[in-house]
Structure 1
């Protein structure tokens, strides 16, 4: 028997059918090991040795693999054909070696670019060994991201209270967004005027021509800068005689674009379908894993993480056949089109994204796919077909016109374009990020040189230049690709992290830099400038690619980076918070202190009139406060108008009940409400609906609000049980439910459109993973590290949401933090704060209090004399119980953490001191 390992259970089921009874296919469910989220997981002093930890959720699956391997003759690692897939195979193999499950079995690595019977069978015939260079590149990237996160984030917390975290690539992407915000704020609009004449030929055909010259001088777009100048030209044109000076028609050809790469697919799906990059990749994953066709699950597209633009010769031949059948032989070029792009990393130099079988027209699959799957498959299909079609043949016409009045000679120009043969344009035209008019559809009437023209109308229009547009998700991905920042598999996750951490918000399909993101970037640009430079990040990506190609040692890349990085951290260790805030206050001044309408000092306190506004930092981030604190307690958010969107607003009427649908703000965040209490009888309460984190309150309109109020909705009946499957949004996000099984969705907006097939698959996958461990008390949680005094710290999911716990002290994770990204330092701060408020129960509470006092005494903090004996006793007792945990913590870290635990002891005094320091 041969044991085959893939990532997903859906893929395992399909491949098992392809390979037959002599193979057993098991799923790893993605990554099985990772670096523990605590200091020391990567050791720069030991040549960057890494400590890998098995994910608790993966332990049982690895045991199943080990058990099956003992009965197998061969282990075949068939994870995805990219760097991450190579890493998963390596991790599985390493764990099997540790478990001593491998005896004399042969180990092979196979990759297939599509999940079809032919692709899988062909891959099995061409096995190889695990690519060590790809694994090295994975380890280098993972170690870099870990070291930056665990070194830079604590610096942020200490020097910039309220800041969340910073990452190696995400910070550079955030800088792009924030730099664009600065451009917009610095932008000064410039007035300009345009003059467009509507002219008619002797045959009565009309067209438009724009003023482009006067008295031998060219007039550019911004040259007419005042109404007086425009009026002068208007009077001249009204009295002028018009004639055709020249007509020039040039043939042109437009070639089709290459098939999709990961980046171009994300961009086009964003422009044409309105999909977020993360949503695009999730839909593409499902199309890659396949659907049931004729009783057999078949992958519909090739692997979706690639920067290659070439496609297999057999697919080209099939595309040419389909083009001839559907559009005619005139649309089939004489020779197949070949596309080439320089791959930036070897593991992603695969085929472009294309349908596995181009004879499967989108219409034939409409009934088998949900709406989003169908739309994305159609987009991929037509792009692939168009890439092999004949070029479009155009005729571009330019007509220059003379307008003479007395001694003056004015010049106008009309341009147009005629499509002589549409070629690939019959199928596909690439989307645009702007609404510009490039005259592609404008056709000019027939004219000849010297022909007289009549003026019918004259439009004189005032314009103002506009600031550069904010990035859309598509244009940001495009810009990152142009700069060489990130890689195909990282774009979607980078954007998602920026949104999840509240650094940016998506509003009307544009990315807006939030204040907390701008403060973080301002800090990094001032104190870690090199590490958010575009060229530096791109160069580091190239080094990682060189590791993939086995050109350089991964440890050498890390050493070069780490030496300079730690030096930069060391340089700012003695900076006080107030010094940091002064620098940021100066840099962000134009954003924070906008000019006043009365021309007064924008930094003057509007409350007391005497103090000066400056940047301060608090527990929940940066804010603006008065320098006369505590006498004057005026505060506001960074942007003076950032609170304008707050408050309740009525979105419209519910067509069924005629009740108001309102967006309201509550203690736990914004929500939707139908009607008011007076509209309901007895004790019945108004119907409410929460807003998913992926949706900005500013984007909520009546239609979306009604959809949210309609949840949970019935998706359909389960084909096996006949019981309904429902979709809704709960405490842990969007979900589907069948009987007592709940399965989470992967994007908030899917809850409105998810189809029955996908819902059944999610339910099946959830059942395959086994029962949930969310029940209170049964979840061992995710280990984060050790508390200085309370022992092991774990992240858990409880009855009321995610929380961290240590030594019997449970601390809820605030709404502004993402549970999956919580760090040990953040967890310790939350636990200390909760312990001081009495967060533990019974004996645990007493122990926590005693240990907290011990920490206070050990740190030498000033306390009232009557408390000293109790602290001294506790101080003697604490080390005996947790000596091991303490020895694992450095003296410097222990001092910082125990100081945090000691804060509440003299709450009023400390609070006052901290406020003065911030000022």
Structure 2
């Protein structure tokens, strides 16, 4: 038999062609070959949602190559990915070839595989199936919905908020979550509370072993979080505790079994890669794609992991057997549970025919692949390998101890735990989104009922309640998944679009909405509150899944969505442009001023527009008569620097503009006080790059262009005598002091690396 096999990517094509050998020509479609034309009307609600497709211009040559290869073949094998998008790609390829007449007298087969290994590919070819039109319909419905929302809401945003904006069915809900969290943080009012923390020691011993305990109850009543709310009461109580004589009243010991986390699915991989590796969701999926499609190992392309877009926790019987054998041989019987672990998928619409993300061969250890993978590929492969193997290891056992120390009417409680048996923790510990003090294990000395306790110190510690933190990539993905918004394969693109559109910025790896993002959300919530609500979007996802299962038609879904959506759009067209009321009065006509959003951010505008067109930047007139002169001088021409306003806020500009065009950030850079060794005149200043990364440059710039990425530390190098060293922090090595002089390899560890 001669056959043409069509896959999505060229890397995959190269790997599969080697596995199939003679008689097979494997070509790549490079993703989708057809799409909606980039104009309104591609999905026509007036014609019962008739859809128009066109061949993507740069895909014509890919289709021509497939067409040409088919002339000397008798079978077309469609081998795109095993999800909705992959099924749609297979259908579009077949439809274009059918329209060209290329499939006459040709056999058409559809194959899918979970991993790109020789066995999996050959098994798939030996057992071909047919195209799943239910999956195709679900993908068409999703694309049509997204198209209708995007092409309807985006022009509306241009008219009502600002030109150049865009909206998306799922993207807008994600942005709403970010903005609502920011509003919660702004409105949050912290509440004060105090705790009494003590440092204790067993009186009968003099071994110097201290342990911590906290005031737990007074007169038999357990203290609530807000039992002590002022410093005077707290310090009075701390003195009372410090003077009291305590003894051990009760010691409770128990063993707790901690079970391993299940293997990765798409969302949990994105979350843990964000927490542990600092990868964005998009980067995680890009690196995972390479591992899936194939890496050269011993001269052969090998797919190293199973398909990375999955919501199933299933592991194949072959994989389970291989992992159990590896655990027994490497770690011993104690680390092997009596039976394989089988995890139940929480998602009601999970495709159980798929597998979780796992290595295609557990024998390919991360250490064995270090030389063939680049650093990012190796880090992600190691994460997947460890999590998968740990999921099949024995539970960890922790000895937990709780002791009550009592005096007249006062009870202190000390808690601690020790790891009695590492189990799966020998290999892998799941990351957390918001680490707390309880995450660390505290040890207690041997305690016996009746032991006298010495209170070495009692401290009254002030605390304040805190708002929910801003979303990180990991916590936003978790929230989207929990609410059933979107699908795992879409999250990386959603988060990237929010950044590209400047709807959000990243601050300490957290999402912060920009003015534009908040104004877009205000308008959409005011006019489309029900449609961009998490519950509504989740309900749409459920119905798309029903279409994929053949329980519902895709046209009825579009009809039910469009009717209320069109009514909301018509009403929004009549609504006023969003604005924030103020107490200021227009100096020209006396009407109230309002805050609006313009091309360069917020500004004040008269509510009498268009009759009165008075407008000014926030906090000042449109063109201030006297520029605000700073206390700095231009380091290029010596003229005074003045405060100016731009699209990104205030900055310093030379007063000699346009003769001198020097600009500087408004904030003064921090001076480290460490002299530049290159020019001997300036000192290193802490500055930020365009991407927000800290660096240190000579204060005489641009005369001296010496700069460092690592923070200079005022300490001579003990090896070569250089006048200073630098502080370098990485996830792998932790914090180190490193000599900055080229050729000197001196370094000293000062901080531990992050645990993985």
CA distance in 2, matches of 1:661, 1:547: 60
Matched with 2:494 is 494
Q: Is the 8 A contact 2:242 2:456 kept in 1?
A: no
Matched with 1:92 is 93
Q: Is the 8 A contact 1:661 1:705 kept in 2?
A: no
- Residues 872-899 of structure 1 show CA distances to partners (whole Å, capped at 9, x for unaligned) of xxxxxxxxxxxxxxxxxxxxxxxxxxxx
TM-score in terms of structure 1 length: 0.68
Please say if 1:121 is aligned against 2:115. Answer: no
- Alpha-carbon distance, 1:499 to partner: 0.5
- Residues 11-56 of structure 1 show CA distances to partners (whole Å, capped at 9, x for unaligned) of 1111111111100111101111111121110011222111001111
Match for residue 224 of structure 2 among 191, 212, 220: 220
Residue aligned with 2:37, SS: coil
Match for residue 363 of structure 1 among 367, 371, 386: 367
- Alpha-carbon distance, 1:123 to partner: 0.8
Relative to 1, partners in 2 of residues 1:605 and 1:325: Cα closer, same or farther, differing over 3 Å?
Answer: farther
Q: Is the 8 A contact 2:694 2:709 kept in 1?
A: no
Relative to 1, partners in 2 of residues 1:678 and 1:445: Cα closer, same or farther, differing over 3 Å?
Answer: closer
- In structure 1, stretches of 5+ residues that fail to align are 587-601, 688-700, 707-919
Q: Is the 8 A contact 1:305 1:348 kept in 2?
A: no
- Residues 297-347 of structure 1 show CA distances to partners (whole Å, capped at 9, x for unaligned) of 000000000011111111111111111222112101111111120445465
Matched with 1:23 is 24
CA distance in 1, matches of 2:384, 2:569: 46
- Alpha-carbon distance, 1:566 to partner: 0.5
Q: Is the 8 A contact 2:595 2:605 kept in 1?
A: yes
- Residues 136-195 of structure 1 show CA distances to partners (whole Å, capped at 9, x for unaligned) of 000000000000011111111112234611110011101111011001000112111111
Please say if 1:266 is aligned against 2:248. Answer: no
Match for residue 616 of structure 1 among 580, 596, 605: 596
Matched with 2:84 is 83
Q: How does 1:159-558 map to 2 (within 5 A)?
A: 159-162=160-163, 164-201=165-202, 202-204=204-206, 205-345=209-349, 349-404=353-408, 409-438=409-438, 440-558=440-558
Relative to 1, partners in 2 of residues 1:678 and 1:391: Cα closer, same or farther, differing over 3 Å?
Answer: closer
Relative to 1, partners in 2 of residues 1:328 and 1:624: Cα closer, same or farther, differing over 3 Å?
Answer: farther
Q: Could you tell which deviates more after superposition, 195-204 or 80-89?
A: 195-204
Please say if 1:643 is aligned against 2:652. Answer: no
Residue aligned with 2:438, SS: coil
CA distance in 2, matches of 1:414, 1:117: 57
Q: Is the 8 A contact 2:596 2:603 kept in 1?
A: yes
Relative to 1, partners in 2 of residues 1:645 and 1:521: Cα closer, same or farther, differing over 3 Å?
Answer: farther
Matched with 2:724 is none
CA distance in 1, matches of 2:499, 2:111: 36
- Residues 525-546 of structure 1 show CA distances to partners (whole Å, capped at 9, x for unaligned) of 1111001211111111100111
Structure (1 or 2) with the greater helix fraction = 1
Residue aligned with 2:82, SS: coil
CA distance in 1, matches of 2:218, 2:362: 56
- In structure 2, stretches of 5+ residues that fail to align are 621-644, 653-663, 713-756
TM-score in terms of structure 2 length: 0.82
Residue aligned with 2:400, SS: strand
- Alpha-carbon distance, 1:232 to partner: 2.4
Q: Could you tell which deviates more after superposition, 263-272 or 200-209?
A: 200-209
- Alpha-carbon distance, 1:472 to partner: 0.5
Relative to 1, partners in 2 of residues 1:223 and 1:609: Cα closer, same or farther, differing over 3 Å?
Answer: farther
Q: Is the 8 A contact 2:697 2:708 kept in 1?
A: no
CA distance in 1, matches of 2:646, 2:256: 53
Q: Is the 8 A contact 2:603 2:615 kept in 1?
A: no
Relative to 1, partners in 2 of residues 1:645 and 1:273: Cα closer, same or farther, differing over 3 Å?
Answer: farther
Relative to 1, partners in 2 of residues 1:460 and 1:613: Cα closer, same or farther, differing over 3 Å?
Answer: farther
- Alpha-carbon distance, 1:622 to partner: 4.4
Matched with 2:719 is none
- Alpha-carbon distance, 1:607 to partner: 10
Structure (1 or 2) with the greater strand fraction = 2
Matched with 1:131 is 132
Q: Is the 8 A contact 1:306 1:348 kept in 2?
A: no
Q: Could you tell which deviates more after superposition, 112-121 or 624-633?
A: 624-633
Q: Is the 8 A contact 2:696 2:708 kept in 1?
A: no
Q: Could you tell which deviates more after superposition, 650-659 or 154-163?
A: 650-659
Residue aligned with 1:530, SS: coil
Q: Is the 8 A contact 1:207 1:444 kept in 2?
A: yes
Residue aligned with 2:649, SS: coil
CA distance in 1, matches of 2:102, 2:506: 49
- Residues 646-669 of structure 1 show CA distances to partners (whole Å, capped at 9, x for unaligned) of 842658899785686886999x99
Residue aligned with 1:489, SS: helix
CA distance in 1, matches of 2:389, 2:472: 27
CA distance in 2, matches of 1:289, 1:340: 27
Residue aligned with 1:517, SS: helix
Residue aligned with 1:188, SS: coil
- Alpha-carbon distance, 1:634 to partner: 3.1
Q: Is the 8 A contact 2:359 2:385 kept in 1?
A: yes
- Alpha-carbon distance, 1:562 to partner: 0.5
Q: Is the 8 A contact 1:249 1:395 kept in 2?
A: yes
CA distance in 1, matches of 2:170, 2:196: 47
Matched with 2:559 is 559
- Alpha-carbon distance, 1:421 to partner: 0.8
Residue aligned with 1:158, SS: helix
Matched with 2:655 is none
Matched with 2:38 is 37
Relative to 1, partners in 2 of residues 1:365 and 1:142: Cα closer, same or farther, differing over 3 Å?
Answer: same
- Alpha-carbon distance, 1:680 to partner: 5.4
- Alpha-carbon distance, 1:457 to partner: 1.0
Please say if 1:703 is aligned against 2:700. Answer: no
Q: How does 1:796-875 map to 2 (within 5 A)?
A: none
CA distance in 2, matches of 1:503, 1:608: 34
- Alpha-carbon distance, 1:212 to partner: 1.4
Residue aligned with 1:438, SS: helix
Q: Is the 8 A contact 1:161 1:618 kept in 2?
A: yes
Matched with 1:887 is none
- Alpha-carbon distance, 1:626 to partner: 6.3
Q: How does 1:728-807 map to 2 (within 5 A)?
A: none
Residue aligned with 2:530, SS: helix
Residue aligned with 2:322, SS: helix
Matched with 1:775 is none
Q: Is the 8 A contact 1:177 1:471 kept in 2?
A: yes
Residue aligned with 1:265, SS: helix
CA distance in 2, matches of 1:211, 1:671: 43
Relative to 1, partners in 2 of residues 1:148 and 1:641: Cα closer, same or farther, differing over 3 Å?
Answer: closer
- Alpha-carbon distance, 1:439 to partner: 5.8
CA distance in 1, matches of 2:677, 2:371: 31
Q: Name the Cα RMSD after superposition.
A: 3.2
- Residues 749-784 of structure 1 show CA distances to partners (whole Å, capped at 9, x for unaligned) of xxxxxxxxxxxxxxxxxxxxxxxxxxxxxxxxxxxx
